[in-house]
Amino acid sequence: MIAVLLLTNYILLFAGDFFHGKRRNAISSLAFSVAYLFGSMCITGAVWFFFDAFTPLRMLISSILVDGAFVMSGMLFGKADFSIRHDKLGKEYFGLAIILLLGFVLSFNKNTLYSMGQDQGTYQVRAMVMMSGNYDNRYSLPEYEGLETDEQRQKYLDFVYGQNNLYLPRVEWETDSDARNIDKIEGAIHGLPTYSVLLALWGVIFGLSNMMGVQTIGFLASIVIMWFACENIGLKKETRFLATFSFMLSPICIWLAKSSLTETWLTLLFAMFVYFLTDKEDDLAPCLTCVPLVVFSFFHISLFAFMPIFVISLWAKYLYEEKSGYLISAIVTVWGYFLGTLWAVTIAPYYSYGNYTELFHVLRFVNDGNLIGFIGLVCVICTVITVLLGVKPVKNQYEGVKAFFEKNAKCLWVVLKLFLILCVAYFCYKGFVGVETHTAVEYLQISAYIYLSGMIAIPVIVCIMFFLPDRVFSSVNHSLVAALFLYGIMFYSCVMRVRIPHYYYYARYSALMLPIIFILLGFILDGFDKKVLTRGVWMIIILSFLPYCITLARGRDHSRADWEYVENMAASMESDSALIIAKEELEIIFDFPLKTLTGCDIYYYDAPGEGLEQEIDFLLDRYNHVYVMNYSSEFEQDNISEYSDNWTASCVFRKNNRLEYFDYFNIDNPITPIPLKTVRYELDISLYDITSKK
């Protein structure tokens, strides 16, 4: 049923995009339909999550209604030119087909189960919870309520906080280790649920071990939309191929496609926004620029960092082209963002407010208590400005704006150069002068952008902007892409996020701006006549990516257990049992997956000699089976079956667990701190089934 409804949605959106799109063909519609389907499910799913009434069927049926209306509007009002649908598909898109094939191969070998200590693991666990039929906004651990003493409850509370990323409601006077203030454990799992829905649906259709395959769909769709965005901006065929190929080959894009993280889909949304913003042919494009931004608002909490430049871009397009669709998009964008933020803080407050920490540091007067009011005020101001732009006579407005820039070009170039000088000086200070370690420059946000865009892309762009600004700001579309670069990379790295702890995990936010970087570099290099020079730049970028791509294709980062391993372990357990895991590093990997797959209750571990025997006796009064997991060697040294005469222990599962991660601690490549080696090892784990002799 899920697969049928999902396919129905996709077919409807493919048809709707075909009817609406003035320059669409089968290739573009395949990719845009993926993006629309993602957005449709995200918005309708968010509505159901708001009322804590989400189910996949409700979401998909709601999406069908929305998508059906989209098709009908296209049939009635669309201006599609069917005569150009399929011409030159083979010849025109042969290069794109090569890029897609290579992207599929490089990202095919997905990473596996993560731990709850990282965002990947929390998204996986939330997806597994949904696959088990639990769609509640809050995740509860009712076993806590069955504990009898304050000591037991305190140990359990410490155990839960040790799992990370299960956020319990807190009040000001509570601490992380005060069980007296907590009657029950019921909290929100890290992140917004709309991404985990994608994993869960894919897992329901293709199996748990394949649920991360949905990342490949998002990755390939973003490549196609990137290709057509390059076409919109007017890049030459060769440059279009090289820019799209470089985007696909960027290590962070491949790493994300192999992981279970939101940024693959956020990158798709960014590319989609650039496409609509630069589309000159489709009359509907101005109204559609708001679509990826509204979807972003209900998918991830970080849109606030980029909202100013998005809204200003829409205003600028209206001033130049006098199309009211841009004003409509500006209003829909700001209020979509407001509703998305209100939704996020309602269903996941601890996570959502935590993501605004950087904003709170910049705007000291904003805090958790007044955040929604502040955002609402900003949205009202933006709406007033937008309306004023619309009611003001716009005749000759384009010429007036153009004349202003021409008249004040020299002053504007001075401001631009001063801004670039300040940015470079700031990064030099943060990286070399005001630091205590010689590696500080490697972990600046701007360094991440440089490494992950091919070493020379950003330096070339900055140099051309500084010395030849006319070449960069040669048209309105070029100017807007350049403005997105200046804000989203240079300003963002100076103010919002200056440093990153390590690669690839915290550098993943760099992926969002890669379409901007490669498109901007593309039309800059297209202005040079010397092909040897321009091809040389692209070759350096591509060659700089190859060592990392080889590592990424072969290795699996942060993989803590194969899916088959977890499923086989779960198959060895009886339902409605109790599980105790003896090591914290195993707890954070296996507790929640095994609880989800088996329905068992999870408990903290009392070390031998301190209370394990008493804990098992306590649990055996409530459960027929108590399972204890530990490393096999430790159980052999101190056999659990010898602890008590009241119960027996039998080993029901013993097998080596294969772990793999990129070696972040032994990086010897001379240029970047991005790992080129993997660490693989195995740990022998035993699972004991303990039953009472009584």
User: Quick one: which of 98, 208, 236 has its CA closest to 535?
Assistant: 236
For residue 262, pLDDT over 60 is answered with yes
pLDDT value of residue 158: 86
Dump pLDDT digits (tens) for 73-112: 777 766 655 544 455 566 778 999 999 999 999 999 999 9
Annotate 404-446 with DSSP letters as a single string: HHHHTHHHHHHHHHHHHHHHHHHHHIIIIIS-SSTTGGGGBHH
Residue 106 and residue 248: Cα distance in Å, rounded?
10
For residue 173, pLDDT over 50 is answered with no
Residue 612 and residue 617: Cα distance in Å, rounded?
9
Residue 420 and residue 416: Cα distance in Å, rounded?
6
The model's pTM: 0.94
Q: Is 92 left (phi over 0), alpha (psi -120 to 50) or beta?
A: alpha
User: Quick one: which of 342, 337, 340, 327 has its CA closest to 383?
Assistant: 327
Task: Indicate the average pLDDT of the chain.
Answer: 89
Dump pLDDT digits (tens) for 515-555: 999 999 999 999 888 888 899 999 999 999 999 999 999 99
CA 149 to chain centre: 42
For the record, the structure tokens of 380 come out as: 């009202």
Residue 177 and residue 187: Cα distance in Å, rounded?
16
For residue 172, pLDDT over 50 is answered with no
Q: What share of the chain has pLDDT > 90, as a percent?
A: 64
pLDDT value of residue 75: 74
Q: Beta strand pairing status for 186-189 and 139-140?
A: antiparallel
> How many DSSP H helices and E strands does the chain contain?
32, 8
How does residue 322 score in pLDDT terms, banded at 50, 70 and 90? Answer: confident
How does residue 410 score in pLDDT terms, banded at 50, 70 and 90? Answer: confident
Residue scoring higher pLDDT (398 or 573)? 573
Strand partners, 687: 629, 653
Which residue shows structure tokens 């939704």? 343
Dump pLDDT digits (tens) for 44-67: 999 999 999 999 999 999 999 998
